[in-house]
């Protein structure tokens, strides 16, 4: 599990779950939660697709800062996990500048 921070790059309806959206996030920071495995720190600077409930994703616009807990739930699959941590696990979306393109790799 990781606590992440990144900029919203795109939002699309989830192709695998009703009531969810795939939110592309330009990952700026990832850190471990408690003593749980942290698998995303090496991907800082990449755009990740995170499955987020539509109610959580509703306020997100391109360029907004997204902060919260996520879990790697399968090969190439990351999901928001706000309920996995009793306190401080909520997703926070803060208005930010619009992003034109992801960084060069």
Average pLDDT, the chain: 83
- Cα distance between residue 13 and residue 23, in whole Å: 9
Stated as kind and residue range, the H or E segment containing 56 is helix 54-57
Which band of pLDDT confidence, cut at 50, 70 and 90, is reported for residue 5? Answer: very high
Partners of 27 in the beta sheet? Answer: 6
Q: Which residues contact 49 (CB under 8 A, 6 or more apart)?
A: 22, 23, 24, 25, 78
Which band of pLDDT confidence, cut at 50, 70 and 90, is reported for residue 33? Answer: confident
- Per-residue pLDDT of 34-83, as tens digits, reads 776 777 888 999 999 999 989 888 888 999 999 988 988 888 889 888 66
Angle ∠(96,99,101) on CA atoms, nearest 5: 160
- Cα distance between residue 71 and residue 92, in whole Å: 16
Q: What is the pTM of this model?
A: 0.81
């Amino acid at each position: 599990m990781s606590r992440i921070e990144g900029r919203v790059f795109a939002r699309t309806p989830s192709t695998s779950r009703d009531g969810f959206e795939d939110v592309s996030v330009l990952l700026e920071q990832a850190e471990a939660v408690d003593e749980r495995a942290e698998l995303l720190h090496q991907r800082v600077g990449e755009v990740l697709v995170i499955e987020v409930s539509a109610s959580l994703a509703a306020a997100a616009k391109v360029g907004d800062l997204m902060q919260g807990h996520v879990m790697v739930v399968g090969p190439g699959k990351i999901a928001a996990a706000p309920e996995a941590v009793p306190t401080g696990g909520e997703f926070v979306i803060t208005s930010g500048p619009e992003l034109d393109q992801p960084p060069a790799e």
